[in-house]
Structure 1
Protein backbone atom coordinates (compact mmCIF):
# COMPACT_ATOMS: atom_id res chain seq x y z
CA UNK A 1 0.00 0.00 0.00
CA UNK A 2 2.78 2.42 0.88
CA UNK A 3 4.48 1.72 -2.45
CA UNK A 4 1.28 2.57 -4.31
CA UNK A 5 0.86 5.81 -2.36
CA UNK A 6 4.45 6.86 -3.02
CA UNK A 7 4.03 6.03 -6.70
CA UNK A 8 0.90 8.20 -6.78
CA UNK A 9 2.87 11.09 -5.26
CA UNK A 10 5.62 10.69 -7.87
CA UNK A 11 3.00 10.68 -10.62
CA UNK A 12 1.48 13.89 -9.23
CA UNK A 13 4.94 15.48 -9.14
CA UNK A 14 5.40 14.41 -12.75
CA UNK A 15 2.07 15.95 -13.72
CA UNK A 16 3.15 19.24 -12.15
CA UNK A 17 6.31 19.13 -14.27
CA UNK A 18 4.34 18.35 -17.43
CA UNK A 19 1.96 21.22 -16.67
CA UNK A 20 4.98 23.50 -16.24
CA UNK A 21 6.29 22.32 -19.62
CA UNK A 22 2.90 23.09 -21.20
CA UNK A 23 2.81 26.59 -19.73
CA UNK A 24 6.41 27.27 -20.75
CA UNK A 25 5.61 26.25 -24.33
CA UNK A 26 2.46 28.39 -24.38
CA UNK A 27 4.41 31.43 -23.17
CA UNK A 28 5.33 33.17 -26.42
CA UNK A 29 7.49 35.72 -24.57
CA UNK A 30 9.48 33.07 -22.71
CA UNK A 31 13.24 33.83 -22.95
CA UNK A 32 14.03 30.12 -23.40
CA UNK A 33 10.76 28.58 -24.46
CA UNK A 34 11.89 25.38 -26.18
CA UNK A 35 14.70 24.52 -23.76
CA UNK A 36 12.48 25.01 -20.71
CA UNK A 37 9.68 22.97 -22.29
CA UNK A 38 12.03 20.07 -23.00
CA UNK A 39 13.54 20.19 -19.51
CA UNK A 40 10.25 20.12 -17.59
CA UNK A 41 8.74 17.62 -20.00
CA UNK A 42 11.65 15.21 -19.51
CA UNK A 43 11.48 15.65 -15.74
CA UNK A 44 7.78 14.82 -15.79
CA UNK A 45 8.49 11.73 -17.89
CA UNK A 46 11.09 10.50 -15.39
CA UNK A 47 8.79 11.04 -12.41
CA UNK A 48 5.88 9.21 -14.04
CA UNK A 49 7.53 6.46 -16.12
CA UNK A 50 11.09 6.36 -14.81
CA UNK A 51 10.70 3.00 -13.05
CA UNK A 52 9.33 1.37 -16.22
CA UNK A 53 12.17 2.31 -18.58
CA UNK A 54 15.79 1.07 -18.57
CA UNK A 55 18.15 2.99 -16.25
CA UNK A 56 20.29 3.87 -19.26
CA UNK A 57 17.38 5.81 -20.76
CA UNK A 58 16.92 7.77 -17.53
CA UNK A 59 20.68 8.47 -17.49
CA UNK A 60 20.53 9.87 -21.03
CA UNK A 61 17.55 12.04 -20.06
CA UNK A 62 19.45 13.42 -17.05
CA UNK A 63 22.45 14.21 -19.27
CA UNK A 64 20.19 16.11 -21.68
CA UNK A 65 18.67 18.02 -18.76
CA UNK A 66 22.17 18.80 -17.48
CA UNK A 67 23.26 20.10 -20.88
CA UNK A 68 20.17 22.32 -21.11
CA UNK A 69 20.97 23.73 -17.67
CA UNK A 70 24.64 24.29 -18.53
CA UNK A 71 23.64 26.15 -21.70
CA UNK A 72 21.26 28.37 -19.66
CA UNK A 73 18.27 27.07 -21.59
CA UNK A 74 16.16 26.57 -18.45
CA UNK A 75 14.84 29.96 -17.39
CA UNK A 76 11.84 31.53 -15.70
CA UNK A 77 9.01 32.45 -18.01
CA UNK A 78 6.81 35.50 -18.32
CA UNK A 79 4.29 34.44 -15.66
CA UNK A 80 3.73 37.19 -13.13
CA UNK A 81 3.00 37.11 -9.42
CA UNK A 82 0.04 38.95 -7.94
CA UNK A 83 0.54 42.68 -7.47
CA UNK A 84 2.30 43.99 -4.38
CA UNK A 85 -0.85 45.83 -3.33
CA UNK A 86 -3.00 42.68 -3.54
CA UNK A 87 -0.51 40.56 -1.57
CA UNK A 88 -0.17 43.24 1.11
CA UNK A 89 -3.95 43.51 1.44
CA UNK A 90 -4.32 39.72 1.71
CA UNK A 91 -1.55 39.47 4.31
CA UNK A 92 -3.29 42.09 6.46
CA UNK A 93 -6.56 40.22 6.05
CA UNK A 94 -5.31 36.77 7.08
CA UNK A 95 -2.31 37.75 9.23
CA UNK A 96 -0.74 34.71 10.94
CA UNK A 97 -3.49 32.42 9.66
CA UNK A 98 -1.44 32.26 6.46
CA UNK A 99 0.96 29.92 8.26
CA UNK A 100 -1.72 27.32 9.02
CA UNK A 101 -1.55 25.48 5.66
CA UNK A 102 2.27 25.40 5.72
CA UNK A 103 2.40 24.15 9.31
CA UNK A 104 -0.19 21.49 8.54
CA UNK A 105 2.32 19.81 6.22
CA UNK A 106 4.68 19.17 9.15
CA UNK A 107 1.81 18.06 11.38
CA UNK A 108 0.59 15.51 8.84
CA UNK A 109 4.10 14.23 8.08
CA UNK A 110 4.83 13.72 11.78
CA UNK A 111 1.41 12.30 12.64
CA UNK A 112 1.32 9.79 9.81
CA UNK A 113 4.90 8.67 10.46
CA UNK A 114 4.30 8.23 14.19
CA UNK A 115 0.79 6.83 14.38
CA UNK A 116 0.30 4.87 11.15
CA UNK A 117 2.12 2.19 9.21
CA UNK A 118 3.11 4.68 6.53
CA UNK A 119 6.38 6.62 6.28
CA UNK A 120 6.92 10.32 6.79
CA UNK A 121 7.30 10.74 3.02
CA UNK A 122 3.71 9.59 2.54
CA UNK A 123 2.70 11.98 5.32
CA UNK A 124 4.59 14.79 3.61
CA UNK A 125 2.70 14.22 0.38
CA UNK A 126 -0.64 13.96 2.17
CA UNK A 127 0.16 17.11 4.13
CA UNK A 128 0.96 19.00 0.93
CA UNK A 129 -2.39 18.01 -0.57
CA UNK A 130 -4.29 18.97 2.59
CA UNK A 131 -2.39 22.27 2.82
CA UNK A 132 -3.36 23.10 -0.76
CA UNK A 133 -7.04 22.43 -0.04
CA UNK A 134 -6.85 24.47 3.17
CA UNK A 135 -5.26 27.39 1.34
CA UNK A 136 -7.95 27.29 -1.36
CA UNK A 137 -10.70 27.21 1.29
CA UNK A 138 -9.18 30.05 3.32
CA UNK A 139 -8.43 32.39 0.44
CA UNK A 140 -11.40 31.40 -1.79
CA UNK A 141 -8.93 31.46 -4.67
CA UNK A 142 -9.69 29.76 -7.98
CA UNK A 143 -8.31 26.25 -8.41
CA UNK A 144 -6.57 27.34 -11.62
CA UNK A 145 -4.33 29.58 -9.51
CA UNK A 146 -2.71 26.44 -8.07
CA UNK A 147 -1.55 25.33 -11.50
CA UNK A 148 -0.51 28.80 -12.61
CA UNK A 149 1.41 29.74 -9.48
CA UNK A 150 2.90 26.26 -9.15
CA UNK A 151 4.29 26.57 -12.66
CA UNK A 152 5.52 30.11 -12.01
CA UNK A 153 7.35 29.11 -8.83
CA UNK A 154 8.84 25.95 -10.32
CA UNK A 155 10.22 27.89 -13.28
CA UNK A 156 11.52 30.56 -10.93
CA UNK A 157 13.44 27.98 -8.89
CA UNK A 158 14.58 26.30 -12.10
CA UNK A 159 16.79 23.25 -12.40
CA UNK A 160 17.90 23.65 -8.77
CA UNK A 161 14.57 22.09 -7.80
CA UNK A 162 15.86 18.60 -8.65
CA UNK A 163 19.12 18.91 -6.71
CA UNK A 164 17.85 16.93 -3.67
CA UNK A 165 17.21 13.84 -5.80
CA UNK A 166 20.49 14.15 -7.68
CA UNK A 167 22.55 14.70 -4.54
CA UNK A 168 20.95 11.78 -2.71
CA UNK A 169 21.93 9.56 -5.63
CA UNK A 170 25.44 11.06 -5.57
CA UNK A 171 25.81 10.13 -1.89
CA UNK A 172 24.95 6.50 -2.63
CA UNK A 173 27.39 6.54 -5.52
CA UNK A 174 30.20 7.92 -3.34
CA UNK A 175 29.57 5.29 -0.68
CA UNK A 176 29.57 2.48 -3.24
CA UNK A 177 32.76 3.80 -4.84
CA UNK A 178 34.62 3.75 -1.53
CA UNK A 179 35.18 7.49 -1.23
CA UNK A 180 35.10 7.12 2.57
CA UNK A 181 38.10 4.82 2.53
CA UNK A 182 40.01 7.25 0.31
CA UNK A 183 39.28 10.09 2.76
CA UNK A 184 40.42 7.95 5.70
CA UNK A 185 43.68 7.15 3.95
CA UNK A 186 44.23 10.82 3.11
CA UNK A 187 43.81 12.20 6.62
CA UNK A 188 45.35 9.31 8.56
CA UNK A 189 48.74 10.98 8.19
CA UNK A 190 47.41 14.33 9.43
CA UNK A 191 45.45 13.28 12.53
CA UNK A 192 47.53 11.38 15.11
CA UNK A 193 45.92 8.10 16.11
CA UNK A 194 44.27 8.44 19.51
CA UNK A 195 43.82 12.24 19.43
CA UNK A 196 40.13 12.49 20.28
CA UNK A 197 39.80 16.27 19.87
CA UNK A 198 41.28 16.33 16.37
CA UNK A 199 39.16 13.35 15.41
CA UNK A 200 36.00 15.13 16.57
CA UNK A 201 36.98 18.32 14.74
CA UNK A 202 37.67 16.39 11.54
CA UNK A 203 34.39 14.50 11.84
CA UNK A 204 32.23 17.60 12.36
CA UNK A 205 34.08 19.72 9.80
CA UNK A 206 34.01 16.86 7.31
CA UNK A 207 30.27 16.52 7.70
CA UNK A 208 29.72 20.26 7.23
CA UNK A 209 32.08 20.54 4.24
CA UNK A 210 30.73 17.47 2.46
CA UNK A 211 27.19 18.70 3.02
CA UNK A 212 28.18 22.05 1.51
CA UNK A 213 29.45 20.17 -1.55
CA UNK A 214 26.61 17.67 -1.79
CA UNK A 215 23.76 19.68 -0.30
CA UNK A 216 22.53 16.66 1.61
CA UNK A 217 23.65 15.75 5.14
CA UNK A 218 22.20 12.24 4.87
CA UNK A 219 24.30 11.53 1.79
CA UNK A 220 27.40 12.99 3.44
CA UNK A 221 26.84 10.96 6.63
CA UNK A 222 27.55 7.57 5.07
CA UNK A 223 30.73 8.77 3.38
CA UNK A 224 32.22 10.80 6.27
CA UNK A 225 31.27 8.28 8.96
CA UNK A 226 33.03 5.53 7.03
CA UNK A 227 36.08 7.66 6.29
CA UNK A 228 36.46 9.74 9.46
CA UNK A 229 33.93 8.75 12.10
CA UNK A 230 34.74 5.06 12.38
CA UNK A 231 38.57 5.21 12.45
CA UNK A 232 39.03 8.48 14.37
CA UNK A 233 35.96 8.85 16.64
CA UNK A 234 34.02 5.64 17.25
CA UNK A 235 37.14 3.51 17.54
CA UNK A 236 38.23 5.80 20.39
CA UNK A 237 35.18 4.81 22.45
CA UNK A 238 32.62 7.45 21.44
CA UNK A 239 28.98 6.74 22.22
CA UNK A 240 27.54 5.89 18.76
CA UNK A 241 24.10 7.36 19.50
CA UNK A 242 25.42 10.72 20.70
CA UNK A 243 28.26 11.05 18.20
CA UNK A 244 26.08 9.93 15.30
CA UNK A 245 23.27 12.37 16.10
CA UNK A 246 25.70 15.28 16.52
CA UNK A 247 27.57 14.38 13.35
CA UNK A 248 24.35 14.47 11.34
CA UNK A 249 23.28 17.82 12.76
CA UNK A 250 26.83 19.14 12.21
CA UNK A 251 26.14 18.36 8.57
CA UNK A 252 23.03 20.50 8.78
CA UNK A 253 25.30 23.41 9.68
CA UNK A 254 26.71 22.96 6.19
CA UNK A 255 23.17 22.91 4.82
CA UNK A 256 22.73 26.46 6.06
CA UNK A 257 25.75 27.60 4.05
CA UNK A 258 25.24 26.10 0.59
CA UNK A 259 23.13 26.81 -2.49
CA UNK A 260 23.26 23.08 -3.18
CA UNK A 261 20.56 22.68 -0.51
CA UNK A 262 18.13 24.28 -2.91
CA UNK A 263 14.94 23.36 -1.10
CA UNK A 264 16.20 25.13 2.06
CA UNK A 265 18.12 28.10 0.66
CA UNK A 266 17.17 28.78 -2.96
CA UNK A 267 13.43 28.05 -2.90
CA UNK A 268 12.76 30.45 0.03
CA UNK A 269 14.70 33.19 -1.75
CA UNK A 270 12.58 32.60 -4.86
CA UNK A 271 9.35 32.63 -2.86
CA UNK A 272 10.34 35.82 -1.04
CA UNK A 273 11.63 37.33 -4.31
CA UNK A 274 14.81 38.60 -2.69
CA UNK A 275 17.23 40.67 -4.76
CA UNK A 276 19.95 38.06 -4.29
CA UNK A 277 19.23 34.33 -4.56
CA UNK A 278 21.86 33.84 -1.82
CA UNK A 279 20.11 36.17 0.66
CA UNK A 280 19.01 33.26 2.88
CA UNK A 281 22.55 31.82 2.98
CA UNK A 282 24.08 35.21 3.82
CA UNK A 283 21.67 35.61 6.73
CA UNK A 284 22.41 32.12 8.07
CA UNK A 285 26.18 31.91 7.55
CA UNK A 286 27.48 33.36 10.84
CA UNK A 287 24.89 31.43 12.86
CA UNK A 288 25.91 28.21 11.09
CA UNK A 289 29.58 28.71 12.00
CA UNK A 290 28.71 29.26 15.66
CA UNK A 291 26.52 26.16 15.69
CA UNK A 292 29.32 24.12 14.12
CA UNK A 293 31.66 25.10 16.96
CA UNK A 294 28.94 24.17 19.44
CA UNK A 295 28.62 20.75 17.82
CA UNK A 296 32.35 20.13 18.13
CA UNK A 297 32.25 21.00 21.83
CA UNK A 298 29.15 18.89 22.48
CA UNK A 299 30.57 15.84 20.74
CA UNK A 300 33.89 16.11 22.57
CA UNK A 301 32.33 16.46 26.03
CA UNK A 302 29.19 14.34 25.69
CA UNK A 303 30.17 11.45 23.43
CA UNK A 304 33.21 10.36 25.45
Structure 2
Protein backbone atom coordinates (compact mmCIF):
# COMPACT_ATOMS: atom_id res chain seq x y z
CA UNK A 1 0.00 0.00 0.00
CA UNK A 2 2.71 2.45 -0.94
CA UNK A 3 1.87 5.96 -2.14
CA UNK A 4 3.26 9.45 -1.88
CA UNK A 5 -0.01 10.26 -0.14
CA UNK A 6 0.99 7.95 2.72
CA UNK A 7 0.50 9.45 6.14
CA UNK A 8 0.28 7.84 9.54
CA UNK A 9 -2.87 8.81 11.40
CA UNK A 10 -4.52 8.04 14.70
CA UNK A 11 -8.08 9.16 13.94
CA UNK A 12 -10.55 9.05 11.11
CA UNK A 13 -11.84 12.59 11.55
CA UNK A 14 -12.87 14.03 14.88
CA UNK A 15 -15.63 16.01 13.22
CA UNK A 16 -17.20 12.76 12.01
CA UNK A 17 -16.70 10.63 15.09
CA UNK A 18 -14.45 11.66 17.94
CA UNK A 19 -14.56 8.19 19.49
CA UNK A 20 -13.30 6.22 16.49
CA UNK A 21 -9.64 5.33 16.23
CA UNK A 22 -8.04 3.71 13.19
CA UNK A 23 -6.19 0.74 14.70
CA UNK A 24 -3.44 0.68 12.07
CA UNK A 25 -1.50 3.16 10.00
CA UNK A 26 -3.64 4.28 7.10
CA UNK A 27 -3.50 6.66 4.17
CA UNK A 28 -5.22 10.01 3.82
CA UNK A 29 -5.53 11.58 0.37
CA UNK A 30 -6.25 15.32 0.09
CA UNK A 31 -9.67 16.11 -1.37
CA UNK A 32 -8.13 18.49 -3.90
CA UNK A 33 -6.07 15.62 -5.33
CA UNK A 34 -9.21 13.52 -5.83
CA UNK A 35 -10.93 16.46 -7.50
CA UNK A 36 -7.99 16.69 -9.87
CA UNK A 37 -7.96 12.92 -10.49
CA UNK A 38 -11.62 12.94 -11.57
CA UNK A 39 -11.85 16.41 -13.16
CA UNK A 40 -13.92 17.52 -10.16
CA UNK A 41 -15.97 14.32 -10.19
CA UNK A 42 -17.04 14.79 -13.78
CA UNK A 43 -19.95 12.50 -14.72
CA UNK A 44 -17.93 11.08 -17.61
CA UNK A 45 -15.71 9.48 -14.94
CA UNK A 46 -18.73 7.95 -13.17
CA UNK A 47 -18.58 4.15 -13.56
CA UNK A 48 -21.00 2.74 -11.03
CA UNK A 49 -23.34 3.10 -8.07
CA UNK A 50 -23.27 1.02 -4.90
CA UNK A 51 -24.76 0.95 -1.44
CA UNK A 52 -22.20 3.51 -0.24
CA UNK A 53 -22.50 5.94 -3.13
CA UNK A 54 -21.16 6.76 -6.58
CA UNK A 55 -18.03 5.11 -7.98
CA UNK A 56 -15.62 7.08 -10.19
CA UNK A 57 -12.47 6.21 -12.07
CA UNK A 58 -9.52 8.57 -11.91
CA UNK A 59 -5.77 9.00 -12.22
CA UNK A 60 -3.64 10.36 -9.38
CA UNK A 61 -0.74 12.73 -9.98
CA UNK A 62 1.76 9.87 -9.86
CA UNK A 63 -0.12 8.10 -12.68
CA UNK A 64 -1.85 5.54 -10.48
CA UNK A 65 -5.24 4.49 -11.87
CA UNK A 66 -7.82 4.46 -9.10
CA UNK A 67 -11.47 3.82 -8.37
CA UNK A 68 -13.15 6.15 -5.88
CA UNK A 69 -16.24 5.36 -3.83
CA UNK A 70 -17.81 8.67 -2.78
CA UNK A 71 -20.50 8.73 -0.12
CA UNK A 72 -23.85 10.23 -1.09
CA UNK A 73 -26.48 11.30 1.47
CA UNK A 74 -29.09 9.12 -0.25
CA UNK A 75 -26.98 6.03 0.46
CA UNK A 76 -28.22 3.27 2.75
CA UNK A 77 -24.70 3.07 4.20
CA UNK A 78 -22.58 5.64 6.00
CA UNK A 79 -19.95 6.29 8.63
CA UNK A 80 -19.98 2.79 10.12
CA UNK A 81 -19.39 1.15 6.73
CA UNK A 82 -16.70 3.75 5.89
CA UNK A 83 -14.84 2.97 9.11
CA UNK A 84 -15.25 -0.79 8.70
CA UNK A 85 -13.88 -0.73 5.14
CA UNK A 86 -10.77 1.14 6.25
CA UNK A 87 -10.25 -1.04 9.31
CA UNK A 88 -10.63 -4.36 7.45
CA UNK A 89 -8.35 -3.40 4.58
CA UNK A 90 -5.80 -1.91 6.98
CA UNK A 91 -4.92 -5.35 8.32
CA UNK A 92 -6.08 -7.65 5.50
CA UNK A 93 -3.83 -7.83 2.47
CA UNK A 94 -4.03 -10.60 -0.12
CA UNK A 95 -3.62 -10.96 -3.92
CA UNK A 96 -7.34 -11.73 -4.20
CA UNK A 97 -8.59 -8.77 -2.17
CA UNK A 98 -8.88 -5.32 -3.69
CA UNK A 99 -6.20 -2.94 -2.37
CA UNK A 100 -7.15 0.23 -0.49
CA UNK A 101 -4.86 3.07 -1.56
CA UNK A 102 -6.32 5.61 0.81
CA UNK A 103 -9.29 7.57 2.02
CA UNK A 104 -10.46 11.17 2.28
CA UNK A 105 -12.50 12.63 5.12
CA UNK A 106 -12.14 16.36 4.44
CA UNK A 107 -15.06 18.79 4.04
CA UNK A 108 -17.54 16.26 5.46
CA UNK A 109 -16.67 13.94 2.57
CA UNK A 110 -16.21 10.19 2.92
CA UNK A 111 -14.26 8.81 -0.05
CA UNK A 112 -12.48 5.46 -0.37
CA UNK A 113 -9.70 5.10 -2.94
CA UNK A 114 -8.79 1.71 -4.45
CA UNK A 115 -6.66 0.27 -7.20
CA UNK A 116 -8.64 0.46 -10.43
CA UNK A 117 -9.81 -2.88 -11.80
CA UNK A 118 -9.66 -2.74 -15.59
CA UNK A 119 -12.25 -5.45 -16.28
CA UNK A 120 -14.94 -4.33 -13.86
CA UNK A 121 -17.07 -6.80 -11.93
CA UNK A 122 -17.71 -10.48 -12.57
CA UNK A 123 -21.45 -10.08 -13.09
CA UNK A 124 -20.98 -7.86 -16.15
CA UNK A 125 -19.05 -10.68 -17.86
CA UNK A 126 -21.81 -13.22 -17.20
CA UNK A 127 -25.03 -11.46 -18.17
CA UNK A 128 -26.61 -8.05 -18.75
CA UNK A 129 -23.90 -6.68 -21.04
CA UNK A 130 -22.47 -7.19 -24.51
CA UNK A 131 -19.06 -8.31 -23.24
CA UNK A 132 -17.70 -11.50 -24.83
CA UNK A 133 -18.38 -14.79 -23.07
CA UNK A 134 -15.59 -16.26 -20.96
CA UNK A 135 -14.41 -19.85 -21.33
CA UNK A 136 -15.18 -22.44 -18.66
CA UNK A 137 -11.52 -22.62 -17.62
CA UNK A 138 -11.38 -18.85 -17.24
CA UNK A 139 -14.54 -18.92 -15.12
CA UNK A 140 -13.08 -21.66 -12.93
CA UNK A 141 -9.88 -19.66 -12.42
CA UNK A 142 -11.92 -16.63 -11.37
CA UNK A 143 -13.97 -18.73 -8.92
CA UNK A 144 -10.75 -20.17 -7.48
CA UNK A 145 -9.29 -16.69 -7.03
CA UNK A 146 -12.42 -15.45 -5.26
CA UNK A 147 -12.45 -18.56 -3.06
CA UNK A 148 -8.83 -17.92 -2.10
CA UNK A 149 -9.72 -14.37 -1.09
CA UNK A 150 -12.67 -15.53 1.02
CA UNK A 151 -10.65 -18.36 2.58
CA UNK A 152 -8.02 -15.81 3.59
CA UNK A 153 -10.70 -13.61 5.17
CA UNK A 154 -12.15 -16.51 7.13
CA UNK A 155 -8.71 -17.58 8.40
CA UNK A 156 -8.22 -13.92 9.40
CA UNK A 157 -11.47 -14.06 11.41
CA UNK A 158 -13.40 -11.83 9.00
CA UNK A 159 -16.86 -12.60 7.60
CA UNK A 160 -17.58 -10.61 4.43
CA UNK A 161 -21.41 -10.70 4.72
CA UNK A 162 -22.16 -9.45 1.19
CA UNK A 163 -20.59 -11.94 -1.21
CA UNK A 164 -22.05 -11.54 -4.71
CA UNK A 165 -20.81 -11.42 -8.30
CA UNK A 166 -20.82 -7.61 -8.41
CA UNK A 167 -18.41 -7.62 -5.44
CA UNK A 168 -15.87 -9.73 -7.29
CA UNK A 169 -13.73 -7.45 -9.44
CA UNK A 170 -11.37 -8.43 -12.25
CA UNK A 171 -8.04 -6.77 -12.97
CA UNK A 172 -6.37 -6.41 -16.37
CA UNK A 173 -5.42 -10.12 -16.29
CA UNK A 174 -8.88 -11.24 -15.08
CA UNK A 175 -7.52 -12.01 -11.62
CA UNK A 176 -10.43 -11.98 -9.15
CA UNK A 177 -10.39 -9.51 -6.25
CA UNK A 178 -12.99 -9.43 -3.47
CA UNK A 179 -14.28 -5.92 -2.71
CA UNK A 180 -16.84 -4.01 -0.63
CA UNK A 181 -16.14 -4.70 3.06
CA UNK A 182 -18.52 -2.16 4.57
CA UNK A 183 -20.82 -4.85 5.98
CA UNK A 184 -18.02 -7.15 7.13
CA UNK A 185 -17.71 -8.39 10.69
CA UNK A 186 -14.70 -9.61 12.62
CA UNK A 187 -15.13 -12.92 14.38
CA UNK A 188 -13.74 -11.37 17.59
CA UNK A 189 -16.70 -8.98 17.69
CA UNK A 190 -19.14 -11.87 17.58
CA UNK A 191 -17.23 -14.00 20.08
CA UNK A 192 -16.96 -11.16 22.58
CA UNK A 193 -20.58 -10.04 22.45
CA UNK A 194 -22.32 -13.39 21.87
CA UNK A 195 -25.00 -11.39 20.06
CA UNK A 196 -26.83 -12.07 16.85
CA UNK A 197 -26.38 -9.37 14.23
CA UNK A 198 -28.86 -7.27 12.33
CA UNK A 199 -29.44 -9.23 9.14
CA UNK A 200 -27.84 -7.52 6.16
CA UNK A 201 -27.04 -8.74 2.68
CA UNK A 202 -28.51 -8.91 -0.80
CA UNK A 203 -31.70 -10.61 -1.92
CA UNK A 204 -30.95 -13.83 -3.76
CA UNK A 205 -27.61 -14.33 -1.99
CA UNK A 206 -28.83 -14.25 1.61
CA UNK A 207 -28.23 -17.36 3.69
CA UNK A 208 -31.71 -18.56 4.85
CA UNK A 209 -30.33 -19.73 8.20
CA UNK A 210 -28.78 -16.31 8.85
CA UNK A 211 -31.99 -14.62 7.69
CA UNK A 212 -34.16 -16.67 10.05
CA UNK A 213 -31.90 -16.70 13.13
CA UNK A 214 -29.68 -13.65 12.71
CA UNK A 215 -26.64 -15.73 13.67
CA UNK A 216 -23.67 -14.87 11.50
CA UNK A 217 -20.88 -17.39 10.72
CA UNK A 218 -18.37 -18.04 7.95
CA UNK A 219 -20.91 -20.44 6.47
CA UNK A 220 -23.07 -17.38 5.64
CA UNK A 221 -20.39 -16.39 3.11
CA UNK A 222 -20.21 -19.98 1.85
CA UNK A 223 -23.93 -19.95 1.02
CA UNK A 224 -23.64 -16.65 -0.87
CA UNK A 225 -20.59 -17.94 -2.74
CA UNK A 226 -22.60 -21.01 -3.77
CA UNK A 227 -25.05 -18.66 -5.49
CA UNK A 228 -22.11 -16.97 -7.25
CA UNK A 229 -20.85 -20.36 -8.45
CA UNK A 230 -24.16 -21.04 -10.13
CA UNK A 231 -24.25 -17.54 -11.61
CA UNK A 232 -20.92 -18.44 -13.19
CA UNK A 233 -22.16 -21.81 -14.46
CA UNK A 234 -25.56 -20.70 -15.72
CA UNK A 235 -24.94 -17.03 -16.60
CA UNK A 236 -28.17 -16.12 -14.81
CA UNK A 237 -28.90 -13.62 -12.01
CA UNK A 238 -29.49 -14.59 -8.38
CA UNK A 239 -33.23 -14.04 -8.88
CA UNK A 240 -34.43 -15.66 -12.10
CA UNK A 241 -37.57 -15.76 -14.23
CA UNK A 242 -38.49 -19.42 -14.78
CA UNK A 243 -40.82 -20.67 -17.54
CA UNK A 244 -43.33 -22.33 -15.22
CA UNK A 245 -42.95 -20.74 -11.78
CA UNK A 246 -42.21 -17.08 -12.41
CA UNK A 247 -39.58 -15.37 -10.25
CA UNK A 248 -37.62 -17.67 -7.93
CA UNK A 249 -34.13 -17.74 -6.49
CA UNK A 250 -31.38 -19.21 -8.63
CA UNK A 251 -30.31 -21.22 -5.56
CA UNK A 252 -33.65 -22.99 -5.30
CA UNK A 253 -33.87 -23.62 -9.03
CA UNK A 254 -30.41 -25.15 -9.41
CA UNK A 255 -30.76 -27.36 -6.32
CA UNK A 256 -34.01 -28.76 -7.73
CA UNK A 257 -32.42 -29.19 -11.17
CA UNK A 258 -29.46 -31.00 -9.64
CA UNK A 259 -31.74 -33.40 -7.74
CA UNK A 260 -33.62 -34.18 -10.95
CA UNK A 261 -30.39 -34.74 -12.86
CA UNK A 262 -31.23 -31.78 -15.11
CA UNK A 263 -28.42 -29.38 -14.23
CA UNK A 264 -26.99 -29.57 -17.76
CA UNK A 265 -30.23 -28.08 -19.09
CA UNK A 266 -29.69 -24.71 -17.39
CA UNK A 267 -25.96 -24.27 -18.06
CA UNK A 268 -24.88 -21.23 -20.06
CA UNK A 269 -25.18 -22.42 -23.70
CA UNK A 270 -21.94 -20.58 -24.53
CA UNK A 271 -19.90 -23.07 -22.50
CA UNK A 272 -22.01 -26.22 -22.23
CA UNK A 273 -20.16 -28.01 -25.03
CA UNK A 274 -16.69 -27.35 -23.58
CA UNK A 275 -17.23 -28.52 -20.00
CA UNK A 276 -15.84 -31.97 -19.26
CA UNK A 277 -18.39 -34.12 -17.39
CA UNK A 278 -16.03 -34.83 -14.49
CA UNK A 279 -15.30 -31.13 -14.01
CA UNK A 280 -19.00 -30.29 -14.12
CA UNK A 281 -19.86 -32.97 -11.60
CA UNK A 282 -17.32 -31.84 -9.02
CA UNK A 283 -18.25 -28.19 -9.54
CA UNK A 284 -21.99 -28.85 -9.36
CA UNK A 285 -21.79 -31.06 -6.27
CA UNK A 286 -19.61 -28.51 -4.50
CA UNK A 287 -21.87 -25.58 -5.35
CA UNK A 288 -24.99 -27.47 -4.22
CA UNK A 289 -23.33 -28.33 -0.90
CA UNK A 290 -22.65 -24.61 -0.38
CA UNK A 291 -26.41 -24.04 -0.60
CA UNK A 292 -27.35 -26.49 2.17
CA UNK A 293 -30.06 -24.99 4.39
CA UNK A 294 -28.03 -25.72 7.53
CA UNK A 295 -24.64 -24.12 7.90
CA UNK A 296 -23.31 -27.28 9.55
CA UNK A 297 -23.94 -29.16 6.30
CA UNK A 298 -21.98 -26.68 4.17
CA UNK A 299 -18.28 -27.12 3.43
CA UNK A 300 -15.69 -24.67 4.71
CA UNK A 301 -14.27 -22.19 2.23
CA UNK A 302 -11.02 -24.16 2.35
CA UNK A 303 -12.89 -27.29 1.22
CA UNK A 304 -14.66 -25.32 -1.52
CA UNK A 305 -11.32 -24.00 -2.75
CA UNK A 306 -9.82 -27.51 -2.92
CA UNK A 307 -12.77 -28.85 -4.91
CA UNK A 308 -12.69 -25.94 -7.37
CA UNK A 309 -8.98 -26.46 -7.96
CA UNK A 310 -9.70 -30.14 -8.54
CA UNK A 311 -12.49 -29.30 -11.01
CA UNK A 312 -10.01 -27.13 -12.92
CA UNK A 313 -7.42 -29.92 -13.04
CA UNK A 314 -10.07 -32.27 -14.42
CA UNK A 315 -11.04 -29.70 -17.03
CA UNK A 316 -7.44 -29.22 -18.06
CA UNK A 317 -7.01 -33.00 -18.39
CA UNK A 318 -4.05 -33.01 -16.05
CA UNK A 319 -5.68 -36.00 -14.38
CA UNK A 320 -6.48 -38.62 -16.97
CA UNK A 321 -6.20 -42.33 -17.57
CA UNK A 322 -5.12 -42.91 -13.99
CA UNK A 323 -7.13 -45.72 -12.35
CA UNK A 324 -6.51 -44.29 -8.88
CA UNK A 325 -7.89 -40.90 -9.93
CA UNK A 326 -10.92 -42.51 -11.57
CA UNK A 327 -11.58 -44.42 -8.41
CA UNK A 328 -11.38 -41.20 -6.36
CA UNK A 329 -13.84 -39.45 -8.67
CA UNK A 330 -16.39 -42.20 -8.20
CA UNK A 331 -16.54 -41.83 -4.43
CA UNK A 332 -16.44 -38.04 -4.04
Determine if the TM-score, normalized by the shorter chain, exceeds 0.5.
Answer: no
Larger radius of gyration: 1
TM-score, length-normalised on structure 2? 0.26
TM-score, length-normalised on structure 1? 0.28
Which has a greater percent of strand? 2
